[in-house]
Structure 1
Amino acid sequence: MSVWKNFHHPRAAMVLLRVTLAILVLFHGWAKITNGIGGIEAMVVKAGLPAFVAYGVFIGEVIAPLFLLVGLFVVPAALVIAINMVVALVLVHGSHFLQISKSGGWALELQAFFLITAIVVAMGHSRSK
């Protein structure tokens, strides 16, 4: 019997991915809670949007990850995080799409990882328990 046969647990893998995404995004949300969102407000206004739109970051980086963490409304919460990441990529990182970091990786690999992971969590979530 192969050790890898006992290692196959798709449900556990999805829970691990969901919880990891939630915790890592929550760190960003916590930074917004403790340091404020003045910089985001400025970017939103510069993009021609009303300043209150910046408060949506709390939905994408605090509320949605908390839902993921406890396993409630997983698909909508993951999609909110994905949308939040698209907005961040456009508003904050638009000029970084072709940049390489000092360590040789893509400058937006973290943002891309969060975006793709959120999509995978939304697509892979099983409704049955």
Structure 2
Amino acid sequence: MNFWNHLHHPRAAMVVLRITLALLLLFHGWSKITGGIGGIEKMVASHGLPHWLAYAVYLGEVVAPLLLLIGVWVVPAALVVVVNMLVALVLVHSGHFLSIGSSGGWALELQAFFLVTALVVAMGYSKGK
């Protein structure tokens, strides 16, 4: 048997990806829980939106990652993360699309990772057989 065949476990790979996304996003959510969302409220209001919409960040960075972590409502949770990241890109990072970070990478590589990973989880998740 070919060595690479031992590494082919698509369902396990999806679990690893889903859990990684959840854990990394929960750090951001914890920051919002402990530090508040005052800055986000100001950004939302500066775009002419009601300040209470800022509380949706808790859905995208706490509730959805917890659902991903425990494997419940995985596709809707991943899609909430996708929407959360699109909103973050528009509200917070719209001026950084062509920027390079201090380490030489794209300034938005973390946001891109969260967005694309959530999209892959939503597209590739199956309950298994």
With normalisation by structure 2, the TM-score equals 0.98
Structure 1 residue runs without a partner (length 5+)? none
CA distance in 1, matches of 2:65, 2:103: 29
Structure 2 residue runs without a partner (length 5+)? none
> Aligned residue pairs: how many?
129
Render the CA deviation track for 1:58-113: whole Å, top value 9, x for unaligned: 00000000000000000000000010000000000011111011211110000011
CA distance in 2, matches of 1:107, 1:5: 36
- Structure 1 runs of 4+ with >2 Å offset: none
Q: Is the 8 A contact 2:11 2:128 kept in 1?
A: no
Q: For 1:127, what is the secondary structure of its paired residue?
A: coil
The residue number in structure 1 matching 2:116 is: 116
- Identity between Structure 1 and Structure 2 (%): 69
The residue number in structure 1 matching 2:37 is: 37
The residue number in structure 1 matching 2:128 is: 128
The residue number in structure 1 matching 2:50 is: 50
CA distance in 1, matches of 2:60, 2:102: 29
Give the AA of the match of 2:42: A
Deviation at 1:4, TM superposition (A): 1.1
